[in-house]
Amino acid sequence: MTKIRKQKRKKRFRYPSSKNLKRKKVMRDANKHTKFFPCKEMKNDWESNKSVITNMEEMGLVYDVNKALGIPSNKQAALESTTSGRKKKKKVLPRKAHVVQELEENANAPRVSKFRLPEGQVRWLSYLITKYGEDYKAMSRDPKNHYAETWKQIRAKINTFKKIPEQYDVFLKSQENHAMAMDTSTEN
């Protein structure tokens, strides 16, 4: 009777032949939380000798959202009602409260949209607008509509194109230049 292939396979154990193997792992684990920071505000005030939870509490941030905003159970509500006459914990202001203020300022700062349409799509949409104007149903029947987009899809793409000022302004300027060239040619 044959054995299962996994059992037949030779089992090997990697002995740590050098001390470096373990040292590398220890250093990697110790520096894991300091390698990546989502923001510079936290990175400047991070203390590597403290735990993640302690660092975040000192900055006035919450490590576990479920604990901070958790829904109290009936048991917790009953305990709170019985201990309402006792001393309540005072809220302690965090030592590094400026981190939270900097994060809020950064979050409330206005953002510039970096969304751009591909150049080929801009050319196609500008072609449709110059040829058909606002007639979206005629645009959907155009022979260059290779993807057979419906008039609503084309309308949505044109509205998106109009919301990107860097690309739409170039189109409008080219339209004005084209109109000026046509006026000068008809006058001559």
Could you tell me if 100 and 41 lie in one domain?
A: yes
Question: Residue 168 is part of which domain span?
Answer: 119-187
Can you give the pLDDT at residue 15? 60
Could you report how far apart the first and last alpha carbons of the chain are, in Å? 100
Could you tell me if 100 and 162 lie in one domain?
A: no
Retrieve residue 86's tokens: 């006792």
Could you tell me if 42 and 100 lie in one domain?
A: yes
Distance CA 24, CA 137 (A): 65
Give the other-Cβ count within 10 Å of 78's Cβ. 11
Cα–Cα nearest to 137, from 147, 124, 127, 128: 128
| Residue ending a domain, choose from 105, 127, 159 | 105
Q: Is 83 contained in some domain? A: no
Retrieve residue 51's tokens: 């735990």
Can you give the pLDDT at residue 21? 61
Can you give the pLDDT at residue 14? 60
Top-confidence residue, 4 or 86? 4
Read off the pTM: 0.50
Q: Is 32 contained in some domain? A: yes
Retrieve residue 42's tokens: 């936290």
